[in-house]
Amino acid sequence: MSEIKTYKQWMGVKAYINNSNAIRSIKDGDVWWAAVGENVGVEIDGKNSRYSRPIVILKKLNNLISIAVPLTTKEHNGTWYQKFTFQGKTQTAVLSQTRPISTARLYTRIGRLSRGDLRNLRSAYIRLFQDKNMP
């Protein structure tokens, strides 16, 4: 049985975020609480009244947008996931859910990944596109 989605409430939060015109100072490897929203199917949802979850800034594109990877504390295995320890907790980056994200969706900066963890995360992401069966 699937969970009940609260799209109407999310639309209100989304409108507020869009009208806030917030611009955040971000850097590659930053970890933020971000309003990822109420999504469709197996797309990862945010939690709580802000529809947020932690994300990692994989690559800052400019002051308005970045490429971000959502995080979960649930354990997952496979090539679509990359585990690391952040602030004493095991986190899993859900590489299959990587997406562009506006800095207006960012709420609170939690910290930053180590250079090694960011390098490992980027390498895991790049490996997803290296199909060994291609001619």
Is residue 114 assigned to a domain?
yes
Structure token pair of residue 18:
């869009």
Count up the domains in the chain and report the number.
Answer: 1
How far from chain centre, in Å, is Cα 8? 22
Is residue 12 assigned to a domain?
yes
Condensed to tens digits (0 to 9), the pLDDT of residues 74-103 reads 888 888 999 999 999 999 999 999 999 999
Can you give the pTM of this predicted structure? 0.86
* CATH code of residue 108: 2.30.30.110
Is residue 135 assigned to a domain?
no
Higher pLDDT, 46 or 42: 46
Is residue 1 assigned to a domain?
no
Condensed to tens digits (0 to 9), the pLDDT of residues 48-67 reads 778 789 999 999 999 999 99
Domain boundaries, position 68: 7-127
Is residue 58 assigned to a domain?
yes
Is residue 20 assigned to a domain?
yes
